[in-house]
Structure 1
Amino acid sequence: MPVLPTPANRRLWLLLLVGAQLLFIVAVAAAGYATTAYGRTVQLRTAPVNPRDLLERDHLRLTYGITYLPLTLWQEANKPRRRQPVYVALRAQGDAYVAVRVYNQEPSTLLPDQVILRGWVVGSSRRTLRLRYGLERYYAPENQVKVLNKKGPHALLVHVSIAPWGQARITKAEVL
């Protein structure tokens, strides 16, 4: 015969559940701040974006210069698979970073001027590899929305902080 919980037990379980939820929310926020504080900042150039998208939704969809890469950058013998995690080595070239290699496992050594950005394979053809990084949505602050609307379609220079443990987040976007 099952034993019904007493009111004291219910209160304890409720407090534990609420505490676990609060701990989770604080951990998510702390991870974001830690990524910005301890991460290495890189700049990525986007394809031109249409600011009118902000009239239809609350974010811009970004396509980076490192979204579509030549398959010659793939460093593995076997072909890339859809949804496969990949590690893209980036190097500064001018005011933005460009992809120099794509690996299916995180490389153990890198040149000092390179940084790794984790992504996923969306698709591939005979010559092109399409990747996703989890940075494709940009929620523009209100004051930047006005600037974006005045400029019309244009490219952005997006500042991304990449933490040593691989997490990345957009910290800023500039109109080019």
Structure 2
Amino acid sequence: MTRARWLIVVVALQAGYLLAWAGYHEWARATGLVVRLETAPVDPQDLMRGDYLVLRYKISDVAVPWSEPEEGARAGRDIWVTLKPKEGFYVVDRASWTAPTSATAGIVVHGHVRGPAVKREMRVDYGIEKYFVPEGKGTPRFKTMVVEAVVDADGGMAIKRVLVDGKSYP
């Protein structure tokens, strides 16, 4: 095979991979279960990366599962959190160090422990803690902020929509 054909094959494989990856994430956002999360912004802007919000959720504070001592809650450890609806939002029902196998477990999301546990409670990141806003929009002024997140089949989460004072932002 000539060099030109190899180059075409390599470029086509790379393009195919990128399109499949983007398609998977778009499919997950379109078909995944939507959960509403109470949200509070933490840090509004970074000069190097542009305008974005660092978001913190009520589901970010999780009690250490009783199946293991508090010392087991080390940074980076995988955790599965089961959510339940309560007053229009989803809240933490329980947490586990292993993925639930029961189909009746409810809505299970996958996260990572952010740091050591304090008083049997730990901070969990779900991969939806940063939200980039369009250039020039800046930090919105608001009284309430709510995030609608999509949960895919593997328990991963992605931000679908941000609501500022009940209206879609931006």
Q: Smaller-chain TM-score range?
A: 0.7 to 0.9
Contact 2:38/2:145 (CA < 8 Å) preserved in 1? Answer: yes
1:158 Cα offset (Å): 0.4
Moved over 6 A (4+): none
Instruction: Determine which structure has greater relative contact order: mean sequence separation of CA pairs < 8 Å that are 6+ residues apart, divided by chain length.
Output: 1
User: Partner of 2:68 in structure 1?
Assistant: 77
Larger radius of gyration: 1
Judged with a 3 Å threshold, the aligned counterparts in structure 2 of structure 1 residues 163 and 75 are, in CA distance, closer, same or farther, namely farther
1:40 corresponds to which of 20, 33, 41: 33
The TM-score, its normalising length taken from structure 2, stands at: 0.82
CA drift of 1:142 comes to 6.5
> What runs of 5+ residues in structure 2 fail to find an aligned partner?
166-170
Assess, with a 3 A threshold, how the Cα gap between structure 1 residues 48 and 135 changes in structure 2: closer, same or farther.
closer
Matches within 5 A, 1:1-176: 9-49=2-42, 53-54=44-45, 56=47, 57-71=50-64, 74-78=65-69, 79-109=72-102, 111=104, 114-123=106-115, 124-141=117-134, 145=137, 149-151=140-142, 154-176=143-165
**Matched pairs, number:** 160
Secondary structure of the 1:82 match is coil
Structure 1 CA distance for aligned equivalents of residues 41 and 125 of structure 2: 17
Deviation at 1:49, TM superposition (A): 4.7
Q: For residue 149 of structure 1, give the secondary structure of its aligned residue in structure 2.
A: coil
- TM (normalized to structure 1)? 0.79
Task: Give how far 1:155 is off.
Answer: 4.0
Identity of matched residues, %: 26
Structure with a larger share of its residues in helix: 1
How far apart are the structure 1 equivalents of 2:38 and 2:57?
Answer: 6
State how far apart, in whole Å, the 2-side matches of 1:127 and 1:150 are. Answer: 35
Q: Which has the higher strand share?
A: 2
After alignment, is 123-132 or 74-83 more displaced?
A: 74-83
RMSD, matched Cα: 2.3
The Cα offsets for residues 20-78 of structure 1, whole Å up to 9 and x where unpaired, read as 1101210121111111122111011112456xx2474321100111112233xx15235
